[in-house]
Structure 1
Amino acid sequence: MHPSPVPTSPSPSPSPSPRAPGLDLLRAIAIGVVMLYHLSSHGIDVSGPGRHGWMGVDLFFVLSGYLIGWPVLRDLAVGRTPDWAGFVAGRAWRILPAYLAVLALYLALPAWREAGTMPPAWQFLTFTMNVLPDHLTQRAYSHAWSLCVEEHFYLLFPLAAWLLARRGRMPGVLATSAGAALLFGAGMLLRDWEWRHAIAPHLAPGGDAARAVAGYVGRIYSPTWTRVDGLLAGVLLAALRAFRPAWWTRVLSHGWVLLGAGLALLVAATRVDVLGRGGAVFLYPLVALGCACLLLGALSPCTPLGCRALPGIRVLARLAFSLYLTHRQVVAWLDGVAGDVAANAPFAAFVLYNGASLAVAALLYVAVERPGLRMRRGMARRLPDALAG
């Protein structure tokens, strides 16, 4: 089992928006499998997602890499300067209100935590809890590690693009691909080094399996520098669309092939030993490639996923962030008040746990997340006038 951590386009074709049906479907799938993965540690084990649902986080990474990379690279591809101030403000209003509200709940209601202790608050406020993890003793709100990875990406990717643009050396898709290949390779080498020094000694006969898992989480699974594969894959898709729109259109014309390839790659990833050396080195690039293929297939106008919204999917996609933040805390609280319901009535527990998680996420969305999104939209309208003044 995997250790528990825990928009004008140069393209001649219609531009999929961040609320495109295929993107919403992938968001819904990602949060769904993550929730099922976490439920497996509460006596509700759903075959497949219960064991491999951690891949939903990697799907979120690919989505973020594409959706954040596309507007930045689109502007640079046509010679425009991206709205850097708007980018930073928009990301802050998107992430911080709900994230900080849930952090406050963790600090104020320790009895509701999924684990007894959590990292100090300053690590959450500085988005450094993923680089200083103590998986053995500080496991509450540990799923926030992925937000730390994304926050680091929000800072470093635009900064790198801005520096290259200022030097007049903004790369095209081929140079971007070469740079990404170097980063992929560096990540694999780093994970190999970490596996040999921090994990392998504990997997030897007589070793401590718990320390092997803790070492894996702290040295390979959580740190930003070992988990950029999905984000890089998403940025590469954005670069392809921005710099080679004709290639992008041709790629999307093979939507069914891409969906099949993505599923095949993810199925293959389920056969990889996560704690083994091959898993440490190759698993995350494999999952990132599979998720990238799914993203392309979901954007393709040749598949129903790219042009037809399924009932309820948009709602689930809108709640995905709030669900991700709160579901572990909700399930932990229900464990305390519902007794042995998971053991005695697993289907009822499945409905109860997921229904309660949806209700709490909807409350957080309505009370905190949606007002933050409205303020972000209002700021986006006011910012150009303020800058012009």
Structure 2
Amino acid sequence: MSRLPGLELLRAIAVIWVMLFHSFLVGGLGPDFAWLSRFGWMGVDVFFVLSGFLIGSQVLAPLARGERLSFADFYSRRAYRILPAFAVTLAIYLAFPGLRESDGIAPWWQFATFTMNLQAHYEPHVAFSDAQAAFSHAWSLCVEGHFYLAFPALAGWLTRRPSVMKVIGMCVFVVLAGVLLRTGTWLYNTALDPPRNWFVEDIYYPTWNRLDGLLAGVVLATISVYRPGLWARMGKLGNGFAAFGLAILALTMWLFQQRSGLRGNSIGWPVLSAGIASLVVAGASTRSWIGRWSVPGAAWIAAVSYSLYLSHMLVLHAVHVQLGEWLQGSGLIAFAVYAAATLAGGALLHYAVERPFLQLRARRQSSGRSARDSGAPFTA
């Protein structure tokens, strides 16, 4: 898929929004910026919808052409993209405890097996520094990892005998099951009031409760691959989708006025995902103001967004330890210092680790294509 400035803008907004939300680690960035950071956790859901759309398109496109999906190639591409920067960040967290934003951290094997989001354990009244909170934002990478593992096989099964009703039935099942599961979990834990942070452990982190965004993205990918005419007509209505998406986003903020409340955690997630999906349609359209608006710097932030996401908590903590007292109450100056530091940290991880492995992946793919074109055997 060619580069689309609208999708790059959404990715850049998502990672900045998440970093603003995590500014609570440094005591917040002052009242002037509180309105920006309050709902910053929604940035992760933007990533989920974008991932569902982009990965879904990569998986479904060859299947739509009647080709067999190469699982080895797919997982190799994902490994080059995800694992190097993740492994380096995890190694820093484990090797240098003084750099962690929290003293407590989950066991290394939970990160290595991408199961940390399923085994999180936070006491409800324990200070942040004493909880297993260091590198806790890796929970979303675990959800992504489970998606990478399961979706190709599921897509192959669904497309073996394609059926619109089968796809629609699967989507309805996932959405309704999520609503019922989150609602039941919320009611059960509210009644028992267990002495743990059950909202994070049982609702917010587990993969089975966070499928709405990925599903919304996959639905868009399915339309773009299997119904290109409909996708083109949707693109012509890009500004309408943008306006609708922003309206739904406002509705979602109302639903999540209490972030851990029943209203948001029952129906809020599919509503949020629908709104973000509408923005993705607008972002993929060259006719919408989002799709044709090339914001300076957005493409670069989008390119380094993965490294930014991995490293920003470490950087925020480091700056807070060194300059926190001096920056306290300085408003715009504090914002600028923390922003510059996180961008620099993300850039370092990207250019030192992530980009070299992406270049290695590109060289391997290029040599593989040359081998196939020349009739030589291809080795993955």
TM-score normalised by length of structure 1: 0.89
Distance (Å, rounded) in 2 between the aligned partners of 1:372 and 1:226: 32
Other structure's SS at 2:118 match: coil
Partner in structure 1 of residue 126 of structure 2 = none
Partner in structure 1 of residue 151 of structure 2 = 157
Distance (Å, rounded) in 1 between the aligned partners of 2:364 and 2:183: 45
1:1-389 paired onto structure 2 within 5 Å: 7=1, 17=2, 19-43=3-27, 44-45=29-30, 46-136=33-123, 137-165=131-159, 168-172=160-164, 174-202=165-193, 211=196, 214-272=197-255, 273-384=258-369, 385=371, 388-389=377-378
Other structure's SS at 1:235 match: helix
- Residue 246 (structure 1) shift: 0.9
Distance (Å, rounded) in 2 between the aligned partners of 1:133 and 1:238: 32
Letter in 2 for 1:106: Y
In structure 1, stretches of 5+ residues that fail to align are 1-6, 8-16
Distance (Å, rounded) in 1 between the aligned partners of 2:346 and 2:241: 32
Other structure's SS at 1:114 match: coil
Other structure's SS at 1:339 match: helix
Other structure's SS at 2:117 match: coil
Q: C-alpha deviations, 1:75-134, integer Å up to 9, x for none?
A: 212212223211110000000000000001101111111111100000000000000001
Distance (Å, rounded) in 2 between the aligned partners of 1:41 and 1:318: 25
Other structure's SS at 2:254 match: coil
- Residue 150 (structure 1) shift: 0.2
Q: C-alpha deviations, 1:164-188, integer Å up to 9, x for none?
A: 44xx31344x532331111111111
- Are the aligned partners of 1:94 and 1:372 in contact in 2 as well (CA < 8 Å)? yes
Deviating more after overlay: 73-82 vs 148-157 = 73-82
- Residue 200 (structure 1) shift: 4.6
Other structure's SS at 1:257 match: helix
Q: C-alpha deviations, 1:15-54, integer Å up to 9, x for none?
A: xx2x210111011000010011111342214233311010
- Residue 198 (structure 1) shift: 2.0
Provide the aligned length of Structure 1 versus Structure 2: 362
- Are the aligned partners of 2:25 and 2:101 in contact in 1 as well (CA < 8 Å)? no
- Residue 345 (structure 1) shift: 1.0
Partner in structure 2 of residue 10 of structure 1 = none
Note closer, same or farther for the CA distance 1:230–1:52 as it changes in structure 2 (3 Å cut): same
- Residue 383 (structure 1) shift: 3.7
- Are the aligned partners of 1:30 and 1:57 in contact in 2 as well (CA < 8 Å)? yes
Q: CA RMSD, aligned part only?
A: 1.7
Distance (Å, rounded) in 2 between the aligned partners of 1:342 and 1:244: 53
Distance (Å, rounded) in 2 between the aligned partners of 1:266 and 1:341: 36
Letter in 2 for 1:274: R
Distance (Å, rounded) in 2 between the aligned partners of 1:382 and 1:156: 28
- Residue 303 (structure 1) shift: 1.4
Other structure's SS at 1:304 match: coil
- Residue 369 (structure 1) shift: 0.4
In structure 2, stretches of 5+ residues that fail to align are 124-130
- Residue 342 (structure 1) shift: 4.0
Distance (Å, rounded) in 1 between the aligned partners of 2:303 and 2:236: 28
- Are the aligned partners of 2:244 and 2:278 in contact in 1 as well (CA < 8 Å)? yes
Distance (Å, rounded) in 2 between the aligned partners of 1:315 and 1:140: 27
Distance (Å, rounded) in 2 between the aligned partners of 1:151 and 1:266: 26
Distance (Å, rounded) in 2 between the aligned partners of 1:164 and 1:249: 24
